[in-house]
Amino acid sequence: MGNLSEHFSSSEFACRCGCGFDSISSALIAVLEDVRWHFGAPVKINSGCRCEKHNAKVGGAPNSQHVQGIAADIVVTGINTNRVADYLEGKYPDRCGIGRYSSFTHIDVRQAKARWRG
């Protein structure tokens, strides 16, 4: 049980630098709960919130959705990252940012559609 939803806690989204920034979008949590339900598997948060300093340190885009608290880099246990991205692209064809990487999938809840490969 999480403090944000059934499966997610704010600590999973906290900036990895230790600054305490963990204000994550409820819309993103809803998307992640849907992913967990769809695949029937845990969703690990590799990166959630990032303060501007940490975002720069890890090479994030200057206007990163992580800095806005509306993005997460995720791994679904036992599921190929392309299957995760395919599901998200089918579910949100006209909005959200979805990035395909070899070891994780990026999802953000921006209103515009954005797609890329890392």
Q: State the CATH number of the domain containing residue 14.
A: 3.30.1380.10
**At which residue do the structure tokens 């959705």 appear?**
65
- The reported pLDDT for the residue numbered 68 is 97
Q: Examine residue 1 and state whether it is found in any structural domain, yes or no.
A: no
Residue ranges in the chain whose pLDDT is less than 70: 1
* Domain annotation covers residue 2: no
Q: C-alpha angle with apex 63: 48 to 98, nearest 5 degrees? A: 55
List the beta bridge partners of residue 76.
43
Q: What is the reported pLDDT for 10?
A: 96
Which domain range does residue 57 map to? 10-117
Residue 2: its pLDDT value, please?
85
The count of domains in the chain is 1
Q: In what order do the strands lie in the sheet with 113-117?
A: 43-47, 71-76, 105-108, 96-100, 113-117
If one counts every other C-beta atom within 10 angstroms of the C-beta of residue 52, the result is 15
Residue 41 domain flag = yes
Classify strands 105-108 and 71-76 as parallel, antiparallel or unpaired.
Answer: antiparallel
**Nearby residues of 85 by Cβ (< 8 Å), 6 or more positions away:** 98, 99, 100, 105
pLDDT at 58: 95
pTM of the model: 0.95
Does residue 48 lie within any of the structural domains?
A: yes
Domain membership of residue 104 (yes or no) is: yes
